[in-house]
Chain A
Amino acid sequence: MSSIAEVLAQAQELLYLEAHHLDQKQWTEWVEMYTQDAIFWMPSWINETETTSHPETELNLLYLNGRSHLEDRVYRLQTEDSFASVPSARTVHLVSNIRLIEAHDEHTVLKATWIVHSYGLHGPLTRAGFYDYTLKRVDGALRIAYKKVTLIDDKLIGAVDIFHV
C-alpha cells in the first residue's frame, strides 16, 4: 500500500503527462492513457448555475463512452480533413488545485482545476474549468477510467475539441 503522498504524486504526474500529450498533439500516446471502458464527459449548461447531470437523458457537450469514441476524435484529427482542425490551435494546459478525494488500492478519485490558453484562428483565447478523474491500475499501469470536464465558459468561440479543455 502506497502512502497518500505517493498516490498523490503519481496521480499528479499522470495529469501533467496527459496535459503534455495534448499540448504536444501526441494523440496516440494521449488516448493510450485511457482504459478501454473509459468515460470522457463534458456536460452542458442548463442555466447559469447547473450543468446537465444525467447523460442518458440530457444533452452534453461531449459524452464519449468507451475509449473507441476517444479514438474517433483522434482519427478525425489525424485525417487532417476537418475544416475546424486545420490549421490547429496551439495550446497550453495548466492543471492545478489537485485534490485526492479517495485513494484505494485499485482506483483513485481526484479533483483538479484547469486553464487552457490557446492561440489559433481567433487569436488568443482562454478557457477554464474543473476536472473530476477516476484513475485505475490496469496490469500495473495507472490509467484514466473517468474524466469529467466542467467547462465554465458558454457562448463558445471557435471549435472546442478534446485538446482545448
Chain B
Amino acid sequence: MMNSSTDFKHWIVDEPHQFKVNRAIYTDEAVFNLEMEHIFEKSWTYVAHESQIKSHGDYVSTRIGRQPVFVIRLGDGSIAAHLNSCSHRGATLMPHESGNAKAIRCRFHGWTFSPNGQCLVVKNEDSGAYPDESFKKHQALTSVARLETYRGFVFASLSGNVPPLKDWLKGSKDWIDCLVDQSPEGLEIVKGASTYTLYGNWKLQAENGVDGYHVSTVHRVFATTIANREGKNPLKDLKQTEAGRITGQVPSGSYDFGNGHMGIWTERSKPQVHPLWIQKERLEKEFSAEKVEWMLYRTRNLFLFPNAFLMDNPSTQIRTMQPISANVCEVTVRCIAPVGESLQARAARLRKFEDFYLTTGMATSDDLAALEAVHEGSRAANSPWNTFARGVKAIQHSGEGELNMSQEPPEVSTANWDHEVIYHGFYRAWKALIQKGQAA
C-alpha cells in the first residue's frame, strides 16, 4: 500500500547502474488512486483536438482522470471545458460523445447553462423559495482550472498549479510541429474512431507506444504479411507499406524529452510511399533541411505524458488513454491527417491506418494481446521487477549527436529505438508528480 508518506523505493529503484520498477504498480488499486489524484487530476492532460469542435456549441465529452468533462466551443471562438456534472444534483449534462449545444439543458430537473458555464435557468425559479435572490448567479458549472492549446491540440488541467503548456511540453513541441506542418491549414481528426478496452494498466499502454524493442517480435508477422502481399501482387506508390523499421534495417533512436514525454524514431525505408511524399517540394521550400529530414524521412512515435500519443509511421494517428482502474484502460484510436490533402493521399493514409493501428487490424491487435499477457504476468508477485537496462551505456544528454530542430534538447537520447532508458524519464516524472501532490 502506498500512503501519504509513500516510500518509493518499494516501487522504483533508480540508481546509477540499475533502474527497475515493481510490477505491482500495474495492478495495485491504491497506486492507481494516487495516479488519478496527483497526476491525471492535477496536471496537464490532452482533452480534444480543435477540429472536433469547429463551431459555436460543438462539444466533445471526455474525462480528466476519473472526472467526466466536456470541452466546448464558445460563441467568441474560444474554448472552455467544464465538469460534465450539473451544479444542481450532479447528472451528466452531455449524454453524447459529441454534439452541439448552444444552451446546455440538464435532462434531470431542467436547469440550463450557457457554453461558458453560467447558469441561465433554474426551472421554476420563482416558486423555488430559494434562500436569496442571487442563488442562480452562484450555480455556474465547475470549469477546469487551466485550458491551453498548442497548435490545435487542447490540453486542460484541473489544478491551476501547473506550468504554462508550452513549458510543460518541452522539446516534444518540435515533434508536434512536424505533424502539424504537414499542411498549411493544420490537421484534422478524420471521421470515425475505434475504442478498445485494454484489460491491463494504462502505463503498459504508455510504454508500448514508444517501445521499439517489441516491434521486431510482435510485429514481425505484420512485416511478413506485407512482404507476402507485395511479393504476390506488386503495388504502386502510396499503396505500398514500408516495413523496414519492423525488420530492423534502418537507423533509429529514442528520446526522453523530460516531464514524462517520450519519443522513438526510425528512418523510413521507403519515404516515397508515405502520403506526405506528394508534398516534398513544398516542405523543402518552407522548412529547414533538419526539419524536412524529421518530417519526410523519419517515422516518429510521440508520447505526451500522461494520456496521448501522436504517431507518424505508415499513417498518422492520435491515440488517447482513459484509465478506468488499475486493471482496465480504455484506449481510443483516431486518424489525424493534414487538412486539404489529396484524395489519393487520404485514402492511402486510411488504408495503412486500418492495416496497422486498430484492434481489427494486423498490429494493434497483437499489441493488445501482448499487453494483456504482461498485465497477467505482473501478478507473479514473487518475481516483481521490470528492469529497464537496455541502453544504459548508450545514454546521451542534451541531444548530442542528434539532428536538432530547436533549442530545447531532450534530457536523454540514444541512437537506437530498441533502448529502454526513456522509461526512466517516464517513471521519474510519474514519481515527481505524485510526490508534489502529496507534499501539497
Could you tell me the distance between the alpha carbons of A48 and B60 in the complex, rounded to whole angstroms?
A: 13
Q: Mark A131-165, 1 if CB is under 8 A from B, else 0.
A: 00000000000000000000000111111110000
Given contacts A68-B233, A121-B369, contact A61 B225 (CB under 8 A): no
Given contacts A63-B354, A155-B196, A157-B196, contact A81 B368 (CB under 8 A): no
- Distance in angstroms from B414 CB to nearest chain A CB is 26
Q: Mark B20-51, 1 if CB is under 8 A from A, else 0.
A: 00000000000000000000000000000000
A: number of interface residues (CB 8 Å)? 41
Could you tell me the distance between the alpha carbons of A154 and B335 in the complex, rounded to whole angstroms?
A: 17
Whether A46 is near chain B, meaning CB under 8 Å from some CB there, is yes
Whether A72 is near chain B, meaning CB under 8 Å from some CB there, is yes
Could you tell me the distance between the alpha carbons of A154 and B222 in the complex, rounded to whole angstroms?
A: 24
Nearest A residue to B357, CB-CB: A59
The 8 Å CB contact of B224, one of A42, A79, A155, is A79
A-facing residues in B75-93 (Cβ within 8 Å):
none
Nearest B residue to A73, CB-CB: B362
Could you tell me the distance between the alpha carbons of A82 and B370 in the complex, rounded to whole angstroms?
A: 10
Contact B330 A155 (CB under 8 A): yes
Q: Mark A35-69, 1 if CB is under 8 A from B, else 0.
A: 00000001111111001100111111111010011
B: number of interface residues (CB 8 Å)? 45
- Distance in angstroms from B384 CB to nearest chain A CB is 23
- Distance in angstroms from A44 CB to nearest chain B CB is 4
Q: Mark B202-244, 1 if CB is under 8 A from A, else 0.
A: 0000000000000000101110110011001100000000000
Nearest B residue to A122, CB-CB: B199
Whether B58 is near chain A, meaning CB under 8 Å from some CB there, is no
Contact A75 B225 (CB under 8 A): yes
- Distance in angstroms from A51 CB to nearest chain B CB is 8
Across-interface contacts of A84 in B (CB, < 8 A): 365-366, 368-369
Nearest A residue to B372, CB-CB: A121
Could you tell me the distance between the alpha carbons of A155 and B97 in the complex, rounded to whole angstroms?
A: 13
- Distance in angstroms from B285 CB to nearest chain A CB is 27
Contact A62 B360 (CB under 8 A): yes
Whether A76 is near chain B, meaning CB under 8 Å from some CB there, is yes
Shortest 6 CB-CB contacts between residues of A and residues of B: A59-B192, A159-B365, A44-B192, A84-B369, A52-B192, A81-B221
- 11 example contacts (A-B, Cβ-Cβ < 8 A) are as follows A48-B97, A57-B191, A61-B358, A81-B220, A82-B366, A83-B370, A156-B360, A157-B199, A158-B359, A158-B369, A159-B365
Interface of B with A (CB < 8 Å)? 96-99, 190-197, 199, 218, 220-222, 224-225, 228-229, 232-233, 330, 334-335, 343, 346-347, 350-351, 353-354, 358-360, 362, 365-370, 372-373
Interface of A with B (CB < 8 Å)? 42-48, 51-52, 55-63, 65, 68-69, 71-73, 75-76, 79, 81-84, 121-122, 154-161
